[in-house]
């Protein structure tokens, strides 16, 4: 019987996507495969994303990497969430914090009890003063609900610029901090390269000039380097960036544009000098034709301006970015052009695309690195033999599309749910026709305060709750079962959560101090 097992994997492209794929595949498959990674130092790496989400910790744990060592090597800091400024209206600000919001009680999610308390506060503030009583102010004082983020450990710590690794808040059922990283993506790729198993992963420096397909089935047979070397493989991983050297130029998988939902199509990135405080959160501030990110690293701040070229020129975008830096610019802004969307097939024949080769959604919710991670995870779960059965690739593509589309909906929410009308761009965003999947989720929340998470979609109920409320989407009522406890019990339940979170945050050190004590990096040479 012929051996049809995958023995040779060829990864085209390095950077974070290529080296994450190489490291994870080598760790999972070990001596079963030989991995060849082909990259050219002459080809630049996009490296826009420097912020991550908590799932990246699973990558490091699987690879056996020490968290503090990773952060030292990548000039990294800790991330508790994202602050959104000026998105609903100019002057508004809210957090999308990682981790839990409050605690569930009985059969209900926390937000229904919080919504009930907020309703009581609103009623109390509207009551007329009554002779012999202390008046409406007293009623409101007794029943007012604190802002939603007072019930989030991550949000409370973020706003105090504090951080600590906490698994549990004392002996209470409240979970501890849930964190991700701010890191230099280029340095992270190099770190993964150094820690990839040299017995399994072989790096080749070179530029690919030809892709050869098998005549009988159109599978990729080999790639040809500028040096004349031919590299054959059983399975090919395309990490070649927007170009999609294998998945698009060779296999013509097709690209589906989502620009009618996500209109921004350009970005400028620039580093600036580090300033204080070292915030444990990313900032995303809305601008006249897009938004600006600010990401604190140990040695500098990462900045970028994502914008729509139909509403702002490149020169205007660069001037606006430079005018809104907190520290001195350390380089000229670096441009990037993109079309939001995804490949129609991210697995075609014997090729799987990862990273920018698979698709692109702007870094508003820091999902770029995660999509590489989840793509490799899906590939391992559906790992083929040399025949690459179409049933496997079809399931891979179905799951990938589901994940991309749900992330897409979450990003659209930030743009569509706006009350801004001060610029043509924001007036355009307010008129975006939403996909049915997003319309259903918003309608359910407006009606009942309920959030239903679809299958294994990336963002949690707590994520949707924070962004919908932050963007001004208000539910008409809470769930009737939230009336199952007395007002006094409700007040005590909410007050206890706030007290426990407040005490936990008070015990945390300043974020910069924690970084200095646990993972301080050497100054760049």
DSSP H helical ranges for 133-202: 135-143, 153-159, 185-195
Which of 450, 494, 479 is CA-nearest to residue 114? 494
Sign of CA dihedral 375, 376, 377, 378: positive
Active-site residue, selected from the candidate residues 79, 190, 441, 520: 79
Q: How far is CA 33 from CA 4, 6, 203, 237, 504, in A?
A: 12, 7, 14, 14, 48
Q: How far is CA 191 from CA 257, 422, 520, in A?
A: 33, 45, 16
Give phi and psi for 187, each to the nearest 5: -65, -35
Catalytic annotation on 441? Answer: no
In this structure, are residues 471 and 446 in contact, taking their beta carbons and an 8 Å threshold?
no
Place of tokens 């098998």: 214
- CA end-to-end distance (rounded Å), the chain: 57
Task: Record the tokens describing residue 198, joined without a space.
Answer: 């040299």
- Starting at the earlier edge strand, list the strands of the sheet with 255-257: 255-257, 341-343, 359-360
Which of 325, 288, 278, 328 is CA-nearest to residue 304? 325
Q: Which long-range CB contacts under 8 A does 195-199 form with residues at least 24 apart?
A: 195/23, 195/63, 195/65, 196/19, 196/22, 196/23, 196/26, 197/23, 197/26, 197/27, 197/30, 199/31
Rounded distance, CA 523 to CA 298, Å? 9
Q: Which secondary-structure segment (H or E) carries 269?
A: strand 266-273
In this structure, are residues 280 and 240 in contact, taking their beta carbons and an 8 Å threshold?
no
* Residues assigned a catalytic role: 79
């Amino acid at each position: 019987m012929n051996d049809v097992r995958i023995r040779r994997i060829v990864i085209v492209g390095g950077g974070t996507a290529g080296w994450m794929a190489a490291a994870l595949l080598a760790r999972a498959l070990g001596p079963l495969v030989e991995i060849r990674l082909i990259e050219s130092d002459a080809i630049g790496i996009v490296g826009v994303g420097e912020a991550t989400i908590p799932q990246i910790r699973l990558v490091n744990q699987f690879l056996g990497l020490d968290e503090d060592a990773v952060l030292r090597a990548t000039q990294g800091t800790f991330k508790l969430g994202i602050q959104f400024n000026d998105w609903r209206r100019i002057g508004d600000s809210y957090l999308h914090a990682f981790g839990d919001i409050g605690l569930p009680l009985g059969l209900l999610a926390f937000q229904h009890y919080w919504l009930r308390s907020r309703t009581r506060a609103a009623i109390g503030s509207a009551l007329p003063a009554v002779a012999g009583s202390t008046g409406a102010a007293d009623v409101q004082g007794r029943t007012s609900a604190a802002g939603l983020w007072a019930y989030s450990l991550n949000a409370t710590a973020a706003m105090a610029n504090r951080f600590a690794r906490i698994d549990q808040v004392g002996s209470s059922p409240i979970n501890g901090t849930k964190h991700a990283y701010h890191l230099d993506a280029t340095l992270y790729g190099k770190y993964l390269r150094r820690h990839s198993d040299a017995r399994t992963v072989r790096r080749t420096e070179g530029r690919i000039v030809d892709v050869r397909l098998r005549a009988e089935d159109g599978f990729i047979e080999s790639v040809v380097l500028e040096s004349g070397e031919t590299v054959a493989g059983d399975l090919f991983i395309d990490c070649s960036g927007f170009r999609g050297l294998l998945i698009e130029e060779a296999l013509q998988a097709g690209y589906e544009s989502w620009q009618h939902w996500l209109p921004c199509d350009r970005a400028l990135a620039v580093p600036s000098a580090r300033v204080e405080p070292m915030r444990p959160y990313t900032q995303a501030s809305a601008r006249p034709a897009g938004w600006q990110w600010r990401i604190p690293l140990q040695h500098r701040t990462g900045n970028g301006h994502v914008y729509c070229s139909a509403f702002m020129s490149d020169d205007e975008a660069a001037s606006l970015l430079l005018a809104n830096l907190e520290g001195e610019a350390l380089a000229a802004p670096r441009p990037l052009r993109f079309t939001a969307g995804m490949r129609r097939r991210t697995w075609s024949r014997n090729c799987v695309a990862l990273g920018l080769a698979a698709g692109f959604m702007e870094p508003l919710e820091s999902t770029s690195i995660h999509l590489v991670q989840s793509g490799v995870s899906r590939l391992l779960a559906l790992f083929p033999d040399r025949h690459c059965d179409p049933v496997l690739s079809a399931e891979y593509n179905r799951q990938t599309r589901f994940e991309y589309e749900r992330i897409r909906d979450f990003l659209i929410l930030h743009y569509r749910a706006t009350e801004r009308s001060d610029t043509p761009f924001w007036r355009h965003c307010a008129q975006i026709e939403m996909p049915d999947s997003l319309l259903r989720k918003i309608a359910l929340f407006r009606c009942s305060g309920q959030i239903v998470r679809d299958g294994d979609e990336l963002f949690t109920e707590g994520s949707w709750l924070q962004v919908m409320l932050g963007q001004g989407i208000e539910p008409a009522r809470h769930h009737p079962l939230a009336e199952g406890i007395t007002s006094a019990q409700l007040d005590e339940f909410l007050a206890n959560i706030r007290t426990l979170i407040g005490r936990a945050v008070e015990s945390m050190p300043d974020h910069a101090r924690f970084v200095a004590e646990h993972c301080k990096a050497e100054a760049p040479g």
